[in-house]
Structure 1
Amino acid sequence: MVAHFLRLKLTLLGNTLRRSIWQTIGLCFALLYALFAVGGLVIAAIIGGGMDPLLTGHVITLAGAITVLCWWIVPVFVFGVDQTLDPQRFTTFAIPHRALISGLAVAGLVSVPGVATALAASGSALAWWRAPWLIPVALLGAALGVVACVVGSRAVTTALAPLLESRRYREVVAVVAIVPLVLIGPAIGWASEEIGAVSKEASGGAVTVTADGSLFTAVLARFGELAAWTPFGAPWSLPVAVHEGAWGVVAARLAITVGTIAVLWLIWTRSLAKALVTPSVGGGKGVRSKGLGWFGRFPATPVGAVAARCTTYWIRDPRYAAGISVIFLMPVILWLPARSSDNLELLLLAGPVVAWVLAFSVSNDVGYDYTAFALHVATGTTGRADRWGRALPVLVFGTVLVVLIALLTLALSGRWDLTAPLLGICLGTLGLTLGVSSVVSARLVYPVPKPGESPLKSPQGAAMATMLAQFLAMIVVMLLALPLLGIGIWAMASGNLVVGVVTLVIGLAEGAVLLVVGIRMGARTFDRRAPELLQQVQAFP
């Protein structure tokens, strides 16, 4: 049964690549990059093992702990559950539950991240080449670490998927998923305190830091020991404990690893069993509404109708919730590292980043419409009405939000002298990115969760197409923003008021011009490709 799942996963992957040449190219680039990165990591492990095996073991423990944490968090926050083999599609085949779980677990490794993780984990065992008898122990730890990655990822995403079907819980899940990002600042401060403590001990002679007196080695050893006692780092630390002859520690860490995998397997099994018996239908309970909502607030024109519908999406569609949570938490995310580094000017990045995220959010609005896009084609909605209708909500509400965030960060950092250049960069970024998004959304569409589905779901082939489209659009945005960013950085560095005002003027002018040009180009492309766009969204898996 496991072999059958592997063949099915490879067949589906091959069909996806044959359907889209761009996905094939993107997969090739991703594989080459992954092989290059894995090769570099394995070589570093071999060299480190030859110089200091114990220190290398601590580094591998830290890297493994971070890898497991990323496998658990990133799919929830970015891509969601891989739906290439959607378990609900096997409901009518009466497959034994244990066989279904095992097949899905093994098939979960058939991806670029899965292959890269397995190769890197196996190659890390070569760090113990000076003590060959430890290589089997390292391979066992690596295998358990990879199992923890896959099973943990599936357990977390499967357990959380039903929650996002309810509007009450999706914001909570989004905040929980963003916690690791928020903790970056405290982690850096904690690391600094640990380094200071070790340095104090070393200078006072209270303890022997290392055999060669290396402070850096002592810090890595301390963090490696701490990570080794967590479910994330325990499997990777087994060869270190065996090397030191601490058999009690080996048994304890092995128990932590096996216990964690068992708990995660149980969570995944029960969550999947519940999902197969009572599959989620999304949407939650209906809510009575009075009046026409946003359709009564916007003008009764084609542009107003599209703008009202898009505004309703932003407020009520759970698929937009993750992006909104990032926007509102951006000042908090930047506040922590800025506070720990005593450089509050880092907060000023929040405004431009929020402007970019907001404006780029409409780059795949056609994909989010799904079959509802047929209304635009059937009613003969012009490209101009469609492009302006999608851009106006972001332009109106986004301008207010970006300005408020910029003023907030200026107040927190105490740099009111940078008001003009910062507002110029923020508003210019909002306008030019919105213009680029208006063109991109008429040219490139990629699969997204369908209306009513959980935002955690990621349709087949969506990850590669999403990354490729966003990468191309980001390149264009960066190239167009270079003049504005250049003069803005000059104004902030020099503190010249005149240059700051010039930055504001250039930002407003460039943002407005590129917005109008982008909408006109997008409108012409939309008028020419509307039927083709409808075919593409209807063909989404």
Structure 2
Amino acid sequence: MKIAVLRHSLTGQHGGMVIAGGSLGAVLATGTIFLAFLDGDWLTAAYAVWMLGWIIGPVFSGGGDESLRPEFFAMLGLPAHRLAVGLLASAFVGVAPAVSLLALSGLVVAGARQGVLGALVAVPAMVLQLAAFVLLSRVAVAVLGMALRSRVGAVGAAVVNGAILAFLGQGWVFAVALGQGSGIPEFVRYLPSGWGLLAVRGDYLALVALAVLVGLLLAAWAALLARRAGTTRPSTRGRRPMRARSAQDAVMAKELRAWTRDLVRTHQLTFALAYGLFFASAPLVLGWPGMLPWAGPIFIVMAAAMTANQYGDEGTALWLTVMTPGVSDVRGRQLAWLVAVAPVALVVTVALTAVNGGPWPIICAVTLALLGGGAGLVPLMSVYGLVPGIDPARRGGNPLRTSEDDGSLTGLAYLMLVLVAATAAPAAVVAWMFGWLGVPVGALTGALCYWGLGLLAGRRLTAQGPELLHMMRTGRRPETKSTFQALDMPKGAQTVTYLCWGLAMIPLFPQGIVASVFLVNGMYEHSWFLATYMAPGLRWPTAVGMIVIGLALLGTGWGLMRRYRQKEVTA
């Protein structure tokens, strides 16, 4: 069954993303194998990262691969342990297990360096280590799914996940603090991820311990499967009535109720806050509080990324919006998002910036810009990059799984991280160079993003509402021609247009506009900006020339588009 599901899923956009992810994973796995040829504990550290990826990754991708859900077999009456064994066997079928098995083949290389016996021991060690990775992932998702059935559990799980991911991203801090800045901490080799390598190197009790761990994890997963049933239970505490004076207020009131009652949203928002606080406070281990002021901005960016699929997460409830034209649904959602995020972000930012003693201008400018950028991009990306989700009432025993297309959901989150951060770039540059002047720039940028991007999202929702609802119900995007296909552009012209648009950004912005800003402020020989390294008489000609080149490339691309558009009109 799993092979059939996998074979039929490797098509279209989802198949392209799976192939791209598998290719990237294969590159990382090859790099891991290379570490097996090095002395020291580098391979041990790499396997620790792979283990953390298996544990943490599914938390941010809708609960991992659940092509075969336990609920599908509920009517068969299978014992829990038998169902767990069967699902474990099917879990080995997929791109992620294949890539991980390739990375674990580094155990064979490490064993061969020890001798023939080491190479032989590496074979069962590979299988047991992969089984441990898969089971750790399944148990972690199951435990988190159980936690998301209560508000306390949802908050606690979010704090733990945020701390783990933040400390993983700031691992260098703890390595330096432990005096291990040039090597791998010794405790890493004794983590379960290193037991296979210990067995290969002659400690055969580690192989026995690995087999026992797999058995215990399998038993734990079977017990959790037996308890897995139903859906998340929303809070039933009494709520003070919300009275709306307009359609926009009604949407905002409905959204605020969703923010307080949906435990998945509670988990997402708490995770974003925990990640920002832990990530910014990690350098305190070294006695450096300089990152504390950035906890608020990091929280805003992460909150936007976690909630970027608002319409998709609500499933077919979109029909309510489609059937009531004129309701300011987007504006209401924007206000509700600001009410949920802005107060917490402002309190955290002001408090931690005061603790650090600044820098006030750039922090204030960036925070204002990010709040407006997040409020504008969340609904915009939700309608333009909508990922069909599961209706909240049908989420099943895994509340983390809000969409059938986890790959697209993860890609949308990563894209949001970049786009939301980019909205603060102009304010950050101005504040860095001119101080408090960046604050009004940040406020203006945020206001424009809020108004402009919200307007675009509203127009898209009004024009494409039925199509979006169809996609939500069927899980399939309407078959529409791309702009190039509509204009009947040949492949060569498409390639040239893509290259012109892609390459134009490099000379136009960093090598042209940004380099000019550096020249105005007397910043020479700075980073990779060519104009700052030229002789005095060639600096400004170089910067202006780069701007001209960028504009010329953009003009060439648009010229080709206009040429074929005119041909279509005359035809």
TM over 0.5: yes
- 2:537 aligns with none
Pair 1:274 & 2:233 matched: no
CA contact (8 A) 1:158 1:271 kept: yes
Alignment of 1:95-494 (within 5 A): 95=78, 97-133=80-116, 134-181=118-165, 183=167, 191-192=175-176, 194-195=178-179, 219-220=183-184, 223-224=185-186, 226-240=187-201, 242=202, 249-251=203-205, 253-275=206-228, 279-283=229-233, 286-287=236-237, 289=238, 291-292=240-241, 295-296=242-243, 299-330=244-275, 332-382=277-327, 385-415=328-358, 418-448=359-389, 450-452=391-393, 453=395, 456-458=399-401, 461-488=404-431, 490-491=432-433
Distance 2:323 2:416 in 1: 29
CA contact (8 A) 2:142 2:398 kept: no
Partner letter of residue 72 of structure 2? Answer: R
**Structure 1 481/17 Cα, relative in aligned 2: closer, same or farther at 3 Å?**
farther
Pair 1:11 & 2:17 matched: no
CA contact (8 A) 2:368 2:442 kept: yes
**Structure 1 84/170 Cα, relative in aligned 2: closer, same or farther at 3 Å?**
same
- 2:72 aligns with 89
Distance 1:75 1:170 in 2: 16
Distance 2:169 2:318 in 1: 43
Give the superposition deviation at 1:17. Answer: 4.1
Distance 1:30 1:456 in 2: 24
CA contact (8 A) 2:256 2:340 kept: no
Partner letter of residue 270 of structure 1? Answer: A
- 2:33 aligns with 42
Give the superposition deviation at 1:450. Answer: 3.5
**Structure 1 449/162 Cα, relative in aligned 2: closer, same or farther at 3 Å?**
farther
Give the superposition deviation at 1:319. Answer: 1.1
**Structure 1 389/362 Cα, relative in aligned 2: closer, same or farther at 3 Å?**
farther
Give the superposition deviation at 1:540. Answer: 4.8
Corresponding residue SS for 1:234:
helix
**Structure 1 192/84 Cα, relative in aligned 2: closer, same or farther at 3 Å?**
same
CA contact (8 A) 1:23 1:464 kept: yes
- 2:468 aligns with 533
CA contact (8 A) 1:442 1:526 kept: yes
Partner letter of residue 459 of structure 2? Answer: R
Distance 2:162 2:306 in 1: 18
Partner letter of residue 60 of structure 1? Answer: L
Pair 1:516 & 2:451 matched: yes
**Structure 1 40/254 Cα, relative in aligned 2: closer, same or farther at 3 Å?**
closer
Partner letter of residue 28 of structure 1? Answer: I
Partner letter of residue 208 of structure 2? Answer: A
Corresponding residue SS for 2:204:
helix
Distance 2:254 2:320 in 1: 12
Higher RCO, 1 vs 2 (CA within 8 Å, ≥6 residues apart): 1
- 1:26 aligns with 17
Deviations 1:181-235 (A, max 9, x none): 4655996565335437xxxxxxxxxxxxxxxxxx95xx54xx34x3343334222
- 1:204 aligns with none
Partner letter of residue 388 of structure 1? Answer: R
Distance 1:471 1:65 in 2: 23
Give the superposition deviation at 1:486. Answer: 2.5
Give the superposition deviation at 1:480. Answer: 4.3
Q: Which runs of 5+ in 1 are unaligned?
A: 1-7, 197-214, 243-248, 492-498
Distance 2:439 2:26 in 1: 45
Count of paired positions: 473
Give the superposition deviation at 1:509. Answer: 0.7
Partner letter of residue 30 of structure 1? Answer: G
Partner letter of residue 33 of structure 2? Answer: V
> Considering only aligned residues, what root-mean-square deviation do their CA atoms show, in Å?
2.8
CA contact (8 A) 2:85 2:218 kept: no
Deviations 1:516-537 (A, max 9, x none): 1111111111111111111222
Give the superposition deviation at 1:411. Answer: 1.6
Deviations 1:446-479 (A, max 9, x none): 1445324466432564321112323444444455
CA contact (8 A) 2:18 2:407 kept: yes
Deviations 1:43-99 (A, max 9, x none): 3423x2xxx4xx2xx322232233223323432455325321111111223456555
CA contact (8 A) 1:355 1:427 kept: no
CA contact (8 A) 1:365 1:441 kept: yes
Pair 1:75 & 2:58 matched: yes
Corresponding residue SS for 2:291:
helix
**Structure 1 359/144 Cα, relative in aligned 2: closer, same or farther at 3 Å?**
closer
CA contact (8 A) 2:112 2:119 kept: yes
Distance 2:357 2:469 in 1: 50
Distance 1:185 1:537 in 2: 35
The percent of aligned pairs where both chains have the same amino acid is 22
Partner letter of residue 369 of structure 2? Answer: G
